[in-house]
Amino acid sequence: MQFGYTILYVEDVPRTIAFYEAAFGFTRRFLHEAGDFGELETGATALAFSSLKLMAELGKNPQRASASAPSFEIAFTTADVAAAVERAVAAGARLVQAPEQMPWGQTVAYVADINETLVELCTPMGPPGD
């Protein structure tokens, strides 16, 4: 088995994809002509978005994200967390937590995307002892 993708439920898929392209530098993989589903290239695992409207039409009860009371977060690794935060905020993200050095050596920051999804921006974790 292999982890294929994560789907975030959002109000406006095309707007969200454009935001992630600007804020985090990802490349669009696919956007359905109806605008209710799309994917971004993010490496081995795709990040996908589905509209709240489509999920409701499929009989689901989708909930909106809340950075102040998250039930999940997504994380992107980068060597320069401060620059990543600056780029994300310039694209419309809201700063939740400024970059901070963690006791285990990782630098971590948090932003909320335009849908209030909590996004962690962090340095990669190395093997123990690195």
Span 66-85, pLDDT tens digits: 999 999 999 999 999 999 99
Instruction: Looking at the structure, tell me whether residues 37 and 89 fall in a common domain.
Output: no
Say what the pTM is.
0.91
Strands 118-122, 74-77: pairing is parallel
For residue 2, count CB atoms less than 10 angstroms from its CB and return exposed for 0-12, middle for 13-18, buried for 19 or more: exposed
Instruction: Looking at the structure, tell me whether residues 10 and 41 fall in a common domain.
Output: yes
**Residues spanned by the domain of 73:** 65-130
Instruction: Looking at the structure, tell me whether residues 111 and 70 fall in a common domain.
Output: yes
How far is residue 118's CA from residue 75's CA, in Å, rounded to a whole number? 9
Confidence tier at 20 by pLDDT (50, 70, 90): very high
Instruction: Looking at the structure, tell me whether residues 7 and 35 fall in a common domain.
Output: yes
Q: Does the pLDDT at position 13 exceed 90?
A: yes
Residues 87 and 24: beta-carbon distance below 8 Å: yes
How far is residue 92's CA from residue 105's CA, in Å, rounded to a whole number? 28
Instruction: Looking at the structure, tell me whether residues 5 and 42 fall in a common domain.
Output: yes
| Domain count across the chain | 2
